[in-house]
């Protein structure tokens, strides 16, 4: 495979040096203008690397600023590096997806959205230029993170917690509530806001992580905190499927904090998997499937239930194209 050096650099859009650089050496790609944090940037994409004094000096200046991303990628000629935003990047699956994207700079420029500065610090993000702070229920706060992205992975969710005062040692079941926002606020209004913002920004694909169980309104999860969480999630899934933006909806089974890549994955429809014994999946596998959906055309405009066999049963899944090809359902 012929490999050339592909240098992708984000530079201030209003740099006075850009016109001469552009005219003689570069061409702007379709994603030439976008924002990183509160600044406007342009993307220059250079497919060969002769000596460009202008360019080198600009690139050097970029690397000296924490607010300017400079990405050098060794990539196959003609490859397309996707700028991908993971929302819920401080969450358990979101963080895995964000980290996995960062590990593949030849394929992705990773961005992550966390709700608060504290959330950003909690994942060691103080020095991470890819992390943005925003609240999905406040659309204005999403704009910097979404501007210029190619794809969005939605991993935000309302999170039920036992009401304060519950003592597990007494037995019984706690009452739940949603201190970080109700399912209506987060799983419906917030997911919808992300889809709308992404669509307005011209995003080419949205991967939404939902949950199995949504076909049954009587599912016990809907009773948690009277939140109807699966009903609101399903509504957002339908909204995405109707949005006109290419999408992949992944309805995960019970999530587990276990290693990924060591189990045979199972896909299904209409919650049929829930009637079996194999209805869990590791968060790491969910993160990987979400990323693979960005790379495989057969994943587009599909909805699938996702679980896995137990470790040691079956063959660990490596052929994601075959996995997505086995799905035919659009919703
Ligand atoms: N748990 C399961 O067994 C299960 C099963 C099937 C499917 N799922 C789904 O799989 C996905 C991943 O689950 P998970 O357990 O890994 O996620 P998680 O750890 O609960 O993370 C959810 C994330 O959403 C963020 N969030 C919530 N409201 C927000 C807002 N208004 N603005 C910005 N961010 C917001 C949270 O941020 P903060 O940290 O700031 O609150 C948190 O980081 C979710 O969609 C979940 O519903 C879960």
Catalytic (active site) residue 211: yes
Q: Are residues 266 and 214 in the same domain?
A: yes
Instruction: Identify each DSSP E strand in 94-171 by its residue range.
Output: 108-114, 131-133, 151-154, 161-162
> Environment class of residue 184 by beta-carbon count within 10 Å: exposed (0-12), middle (13-18) or buried (19+)?
middle
CATH at 113: 3.40.50.720
From ligand 1's centre to the CA of 1, what distance in Å? 40
Ordered alpha helix ranges (H), 135-211: 143-146, 183, 191-200
Q: What pLDDT is recorded for position 145?
A: 98
**Catalytic choice (211, 282, 325, 326):** 211
Last residue of a domain, one of 76, 107, 126: 76
331: in domain = no
Please state which of the ranges 18-22, 93-97, 156-160, 280-284 shows the lowest mean pLDDT. Answer: 18-22
| Count of all residues that appear for the chain in the document | 331
First to last CA, the chain: 38
Is 156 close to ligand 1, i.e. is its CB under 6 Å away? yes
Q: Are residues 126 and 191 in the same domain?
A: yes
92-102 helix and 283-295 helix, angle to the nearest 10 degrees: 50
From ligand 1's centre to the CA of 172, what distance in Å? 25
C-alpha torsion 284→290→294→300, nearest 10: 150
256: in domain = yes
Whether 71 and 9 have beta carbons less than 8 Å apart is answered as yes
164: in domain = yes
Q: Are residues 111 and 47 in the same domain?
A: no
Q: Are residues 108 and 27 in the same domain?
A: no
Tokens of 48: 């060969």
The residue contributing the CA closest to ligand 1 atom 32 is 135
Cα–Cα distances in angstroms (integers) from residue 7 to residues 29, 75, 78, in the given order:
13, 9, 12
251: in domain = yes
Q: What pLDDT is recorded for position 61?
A: 31
How many of the other CB atoms lie within 10 Å of CB of 245?
19
Ligand 1 nearest-atom number relative to CA 256: 3
Tokens of 166: 């519950």
Is 174 close to ligand 1, i.e. is its CB under 6 Å away? no
Q: Are residues 203 and 62 in the same domain?
A: no
Q: Are residues 86 and 72 in the same domain?
A: no
Confidence of residue 79 (pLDDT cuts 50, 70, 90): low
Confidence of residue 331 (pLDDT cuts 50, 70, 90): very high
Is 299 close to ligand 1, i.e. is its CB under 6 Å away? no
From ligand 1's centre to the CA of 257, what distance in Å? 14
Q: What are phi and psi of 10, to 5 degrees?
A: -100, 125
Number of independent structural domains in the chain: 2
Ligand 1 nearest-atom number relative to CA 87: 34
Q: Are residues 65 and 211 in the same domain?
A: no
Last residue of a domain, one of 76, 105, 125: 76
Q: Are residues 238 and 182 in the same domain?
A: yes
330: in domain = no
Tell me the residue range of the domain where 316 lies.
82-325
Confidence of residue 126 (pLDDT cuts 50, 70, 90): confident
Give the max Cα distance, the chain: 74
From ligand 1's centre to the CA of 90, what distance in Å? 9
Q: What is the mean pLDDT of residues 25-32?
A: 33
Whether 175 and 232 have beta carbons less than 8 Å apart is answered as no
Last residue of a domain, one of 31, 52, 76: 76
44: in domain = yes
Ligand 1 nearest-atom number relative to CA 156: 24
Q: Are residues 160 and 276 in the same domain?
A: yes
111: in domain = yes
Report pLDDT digits (tens) over 275-317.
999 999 999 999 999 999 999 999 999 999 999 999 999 999 9
Whether the predicted pLDDT of 13 surpasses 80: no
Whether 243 and 217 have beta carbons less than 8 Å apart is answered as no
Q: Are residues 60 and 90 in the same domain?
A: no
Q: Are residues 167 and 314 in the same domain?
A: yes
Q: Are residues 167 and 29 in the same domain?
A: no
């Amino acid at each position: 495979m012929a490999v050339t050096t592909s240098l992708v650099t984000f530079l201030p859009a209003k740099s006075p040096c850009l016109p001469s650089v552009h005219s003689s050496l570069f061409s702007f790609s379709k994603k030439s203008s976008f924002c990183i944090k509160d600044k406007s940037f342009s993307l220059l994409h250079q497919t060969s690397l002769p000596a460009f004094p202008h360019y080198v000096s600009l690139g050097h200046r970029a690397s000296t600023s924490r607010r300017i991303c400079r990405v050098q990628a060794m990539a196959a000629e003609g490859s397309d590096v996707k700028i991908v935003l993971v929302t819920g990047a401080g969450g358990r699956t979101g963080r895995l997806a964000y980290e996995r994207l960062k590990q593949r700079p030849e394929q992705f420029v990773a961005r992550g959205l966390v709700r608060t500065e504290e959330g950003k610090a909690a994942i060691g993000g103080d020095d991470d230029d890819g992390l943005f702070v925003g609240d999905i229920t406040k659309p204005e706060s999403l704009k910097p993170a979404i501007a210029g992205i190619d794809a969005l992975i939605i991993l935000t969710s309302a999170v039920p917690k036992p009401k304060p005062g519950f003592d597990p040692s007494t037995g019984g079941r706690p009452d739940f509530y949603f201190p970080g926002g109700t399912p209506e606020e987060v799983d419906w209004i917030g997911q919808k806001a992300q889809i709308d913002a992404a669509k307005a920004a011209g995003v080419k694909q949205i991967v939404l992580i939902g949950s199995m169980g949504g076909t049954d309104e009587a599912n016990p999860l809907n009773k948690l905190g009277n939140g109807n969480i699966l009903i609101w999630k399903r509504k957002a899934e339908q909204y995405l499927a109707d949005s006109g933006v290419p999408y992949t909806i992944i309805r995960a089974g019970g999530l587990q904090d276990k290693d990924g890549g060591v189990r045979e994955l199972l896909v299904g429809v209409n919650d049929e998997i829930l009637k079996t014994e194999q209805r869990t999946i590791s968060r790491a596998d969910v993160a990987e499937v979400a990323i693979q959906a960005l790379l495989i055309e057969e994943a587009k405009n599909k909805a699938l239930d996702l679980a896995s066999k137990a470790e040691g049963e079956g063959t660990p899944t490596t052929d994601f194209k075959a996995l997505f090809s086995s799905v035919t359902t659009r919703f």
